[in-house]
Structure 1
């Protein structure tokens, strides 16, 4: 690139980002998926770029390196970062079947069908070339479909299947493409080469998983050492996304996409609570923005990159390819899902969902990036064949985005996947009642404090009291229509799920205030997540097998320490003694956190009772009885621990109290800065000092041994 043209590149990129921002606002008004609108504008740009004053856009081109090493790692990382291990594990076999089985069926069906049909019309193209096309075009892009799903509120598991398949099959599609490309460039196909290719496929996939997971753990540990430095923590995740991809592809020769996805899932699950509380929310917004920029530029650049393509020369091949790819998606989904429904011990995927997964299998950035890396001219791929594959790829991408995506809503409505279930209707009315009750309470507080005149208060209270009454009437009607027995079960489900959500949030807040360890947060949160999952799948809690992997492992660890105690070796016993002390601290944290979380849930239960959301008193009584038991059990356990080791418990309480006090000091310090009472340099110095105190005073064992020594008990 000439130095004098660099400003044109900056100008062109700025123009595209401005256009992307405009499109993002515009699509909200016309209710069109963002990527679909970008595709349309990309086509318009490809025409406008031929004329002044838009010809400066010709300085940009969509190169494979730009997509692979800059944009793709960001898109993969953002998609995988928000995936939960628990949900993936519950649907692992179905997602794997779609990402591997369905992809293989699709790729080979497309290659075989195109080879047969093209031969009929006199177009002689080698099967291996068409198999390359089948591999690259079978990678799905769920962005447009997920935007529609989110807007219309389709079942959460359906969204997970589509997104999980896409993240995984991006990697498997590229791996399959690389394997087929190796076969194509290597001459004749033999049994040995086929076996070698099969082994290479799994090496690329497995190597990517292992390398990405290791990097994810390493970077999680690095982030753990950094507190409240948003720019550093976010930068490390950005470095991780691209490092995982580049090192996997260029140095280890394993799948970069799978490595990046694995690293992102490790950070998003194992490392999520190692990220500073103040940074955690901003991290999600940052990656959402990076995905927005990457997608925007890719789809607009696709439009600019096809301005020289000769679509008119390939009308019949395009029509045939569109039909074959469309059919292949349905064949590949319907070929594998019945097996997972029958063999896998997972929730079944109904026929309507299979249809939506087929219709929603849109294509996006990855197929375009892959087709661009095809060699310009080689013995096995002449220039005219490469041009054909490029034209077919762009045509399929545009067809899925401009035809399938806009019509997806029609099929979602036809299968009634957007209709609120009776439980969701009950949850909706519960939400209206809780909001109206909270507003009425706030209005009374504002009047009592003199912030709201009596006349205004009266008018507003009349308005929201009417809304509250209407919501209550709708709820009564809904319960009457559903029948007493069924409505009782549904109300019990809603109330339990609501209170479990409050418990979960309480644990996260306790961790953010340094009152429980990260390990204890994971144990408690994992248990809550499992209970919510069982509720949503309508599995009775009493019928659930096991205690959850986190809690089971935690308890198994303690049995191992008891066994080690029997080994009469000094350093082993000292190590075991320290670990057992850690365990006692964690047990105290567990029951103290349970007590606090249960108290918050019971307080919310009192609030719900006062708002008359749950008309069936039996529901409230049943749940209150369970929470009363949990509260009393937590108090009993805490009391037993204090009697057994009062010095340790006092040390724990002192450290927690001290930590909470320092956190309050930090809050007051921030307020002083915002009010202009404290200078920025003074704020930074005091804040660093307070943060150091939290780290230092949080060592319970150090304080415990100090107390023992002072009392002559060490």
Structure 2
């Protein structure tokens, strides 16, 4: 039996991953979410084990029992660091910053509102429903805290599968991350008293603020230490990922166990800091490796945790008809309470960030899934002898029931609700453009097929069979959009092109990381308006470039100007690099418009739309060209330095391309290529060595002070 005990966790892990792989393949074209399928399998396995089906298979029986009796702390400490960090790491920071206010409203006051209303509901029905006589306000609010926090694991997994709007999914994602932390803090305010047996004399509000503040600072500090370390081993992808994984676990364990604050909030702060500060400093190939690596870890964690939760529910929860009736009432009440909370905050939320529509409010209500986190907290309650036994069993049953109902009802009907509310509606202009693209692909395939039929080497092929593998003939939309409707859609295609080119020239080393981030940020700002703003509204780009006017205004003080020019040549180099990179993007956009003109994607009646876009792009090129010319005239020494740096970048970029071409042609092995590319990367890093000094950091900060303050100095 010792051998079986040793193998049980390993067998379960291997079996769970095999089941997950099979299920992922089976559900590829199904509308059933992957996580719901895993959860159902977990319940099925748990029921079979509970009814004695696995008694004749000791290895499997032991494995399932080991899961059913798992320590809830193990779930927290094993899975959450991976899942929380990955969710924070994948956030689109531009969108997150604009949704942060609304997400904070939902996660802080929103969660407290839900906690209070849930507690009041339980105490209300306890007066006339038998079986709830032992409930007190402390128990009711403790349960309200653990059940009000939406589970980031369940919510994020569902939104990724449904491919909802990036803005809305980021709001839900951010809310689930933040209220996950605040929910645990509120839960521990009540639960901690039963564990320690001591009553705190500190105000709950003060305790809450202290825990959130300490957790945030700890996560930020550890992230900065990790960033400092991994940027000094920038060519060691394996070591970097190992350090980040260890740091994520260290952050959670240090805050949750040793300091007694929120490990989740510390992890969120850690993940966001690594994403915002560290990610841009890593090389493109390192970021790609990290994204794939963390995607794999998250997939494994998601697969195991939903099967695990299903097994625990099936094995641990005792069923009764009276409790089932209360559970159904509670499920309805929780959805209504969440809707009421959102409606209370709606007047404020619709004015912040991207705003919030009434239809999105409905989805936000229905998307409040509960999952592994709620079950983990409920298991912690069930393992606490200081809490009355009937309260422990009811908390576990109610939590398991709510998790089951939200995953089986809310999650499975989310797609239909999105369609019903029109949140998956595709504009007519996009539909028409996609139709023309698909039509062009089909016609190109037909021409190529005809050329294949004429080849003697392919004579005798079953051409009917070959033709059946062609893309289906698209159906033309009934409605033909007007030019005004096509304009925003083509603008978005141009922005897509600019993003792709921006990533390409960054990966080739043509532009620096700083320039890459500024260009991408300007594109994100235009994306916010869904193509309704002209392409020449690049305020952030030109505003950044115009900051060099501060130096020009000091022309009357030659010694001071020379000193500042010497130390600010990095800034002028960045501005020049930004200008040249910006012009490259605009020229590539013009090429795209020329391709659209010669293709069938845009009709002759819609050619004026392309002319409008050409005018906007040419205006960008003219303005930036004029600015670069003025830069050369006003700061000749710094401009010469910028040209030198640019020439070095182009030289190194050419070396990098040459090495990759030699690898593709078979002239160079992967191992030799890696050595050469690392050498090129090291020389590339030397270009910006000044930007990491204290002097440069101080002067950059000084440079951002408004002109009025500089004149007073």
Bin for the TM-score computed over the shorter chain: 0.7 to 0.9
State the distance in 2 between where 1:432 and 1:680 align.
Answer: 37
Residue 665 in structure 1 maps to residue 665 in structure 2: no
Residue 370 in structure 1 maps to residue 377 in structure 2: yes
State the distance in 1 between where 2:529 and 2:542 align.
Answer: 16
| Bigger Cα displacement from structure 2, 96-105 vs 315-324 | 315-324
Distance 1:270 1:433, change over 3 A: farther
Match of 1:135 among 133, 145, 158: 145
Residue 604 in structure 1 maps to residue 601 in structure 2: no
Match of 1:163 among 165, 169, 173: 173
Residue 577 in structure 1 maps to residue 572 in structure 2: no
State the distance in 2 between where 1:162 and 1:140 align.
Answer: 9
Q: Which residue of 1 aligns with 2:321?
A: 315
State the distance in 2 between where 1:669 and 1:541 align.
Answer: 36
Match of 1:75 among 83, 91, 99: 83
What does 1:181-196 align with in structure 2 at a 5 Å threshold? 181-182=191-192, 193=202, 196=203
Distance 1:272 1:646, change over 3 A: same
TM-score (norm 1): 0.83
Contact 2:498 2:588 in 1 (8 A): yes
How far 1:257 moved relative to its partner? 0.8
State the distance in 2 between where 1:438 and 1:276 align.
Answer: 38
How far 1:79 moved relative to its partner? 1.4
Residue 114 in structure 1 maps to residue 122 in structure 2: yes
In structure 1, runs of 5+ residues without a counterpart are: 702-714
Contact 2:569 2:641 in 1 (8 A): no
Contact 1:128 1:184 in 2 (8 A): no
Contact 2:181 2:262 in 1 (8 A): yes
Give secondary structure in 2 for the equivalent of 1:374.
Answer: helix
Match of 2:227 among 212, 220, 230: 220
Contact 1:433 1:611 in 2 (8 A): no
Distance 1:618 1:682, change over 3 A: closer
Match of 1:406 among 394, 412, 422: 412
How far 1:46 moved relative to its partner? 0.9
What does 1:307-706 align with in structure 2 at a 5 Å threshold? 307-312=314-319, 314-342=320-348, 344-374=351-381, 376-379=383-386, 381-429=387-435, 431-432=437-438, 435=441, 474=476, 477-479=478-480, 482=481, 487-535=482-530, 538=532, 547-548=539-540, 558=548, 576-615=564-603, 616-644=606-634, 649=639, 651-670=641-660, 672=662, 677-678=667-668, 682-683=672-673, 685-696=675-686
TM-score (norm 2): 0.83
Post-superposition Cα deviations, 1:608-663, rounded to whole Å, max 9, x if no partner, equal: 11113222121111111111222233333334444555665555445434444444
How far 1:197 moved relative to its partner? 0.8
How far 1:171 moved relative to its partner? 0.8
Post-superposition Cα deviations, 1:234-276, rounded to whole Å, max 9, x if no partner, equal: 2233223222222222344332112212222233333332222
Q: Which residue of 2 aligns with 1:126?
A: 136
| Bigger Cα displacement from structure 2, 343-352 vs 132-141 | 343-352
How far 1:129 moved relative to its partner? 1.1
Distance 1:618 1:455, change over 3 A: farther
State the distance in 1 between where 2:555 and 2:264 align.
Answer: 46
Give secondary structure in 2 for the equivalent of 1:516.
Answer: coil
Post-superposition Cα deviations, 1:502-561, rounded to whole Å, max 9, x if no partner, equal: 22222222222222222222222211110111236x56789x8x944x8767766x5776
Contact 1:102 1:333 in 2 (8 A): no
State the distance in 1 between where 2:353 and 2:662 align.
Answer: 54
How far 1:78 moved relative to its partner? 1.5
How far 1:42 moved relative to its partner? 0.6
Q: CA RMSD in A?
A: 3.9
How far 1:38 moved relative to its partner? 0.9
Give secondary structure in 2 for the equivalent of 1:311.
Answer: coil
What does 1:289-300 align with in structure 2 at a 5 Å threshold? 289-300=296-307
| Bigger Cα displacement from structure 2, 643-652 vs 31-40 | 643-652
State the distance in 2 between where 1:339 and 1:539 align.
Answer: 30
Distance 1:148 1:610, change over 3 A: farther
How far 1:695 moved relative to its partner? 3.4
Contact 2:195 2:384 in 1 (8 A): no
Distance 1:685 1:605, change over 3 A: closer
Q: Which residue of 1 aligns with 2:94?
A: 86
State the distance in 1 between where 2:601 and 2:677 align.
Answer: 44
Give secondary structure in 1 for the equivalent of 2:316.
Answer: coil
Contact 1:642 1:649 in 2 (8 A): yes
Contact 1:101 1:336 in 2 (8 A): no
Q: Which residue of 2 aligns with 1:247?
A: 254
| Bigger Cα displacement from structure 2, 67-76 vs 367-376 | 367-376
State the distance in 1 between where 2:174 and 2:72 align.
Answer: 24
How far 1:563 moved relative to its partner? 8.6
State the distance in 2 between where 1:252 and 1:629 align.
Answer: 57
What does 1:8-87 align with in structure 2 at a 5 Å threshold? 8-49=8-49, 50=52, 51=54, 52-53=56-57, 54-57=60-63, 58-60=65-67, 61-87=69-95
How far 1:121 moved relative to its partner? 2.6
In structure 2, runs of 5+ residues without a counterpart are: 692-713
State the distance in 2 between where 1:567 and 1:248 align.
Answer: 53
Q: Which residue of 1 aligns with 2:107?
A: 99
Match of 1:269 among 276, 279, 292: 276
Contact 2:38 2:307 in 1 (8 A): yes
State the distance in 1 between where 2:80 and 2:554 align.
Answer: 49
| Bigger Cα displacement from structure 2, 363-372 vs 151-160 | 151-160
State the distance in 2 between where 1:96 and 1:692 align.
Answer: 41
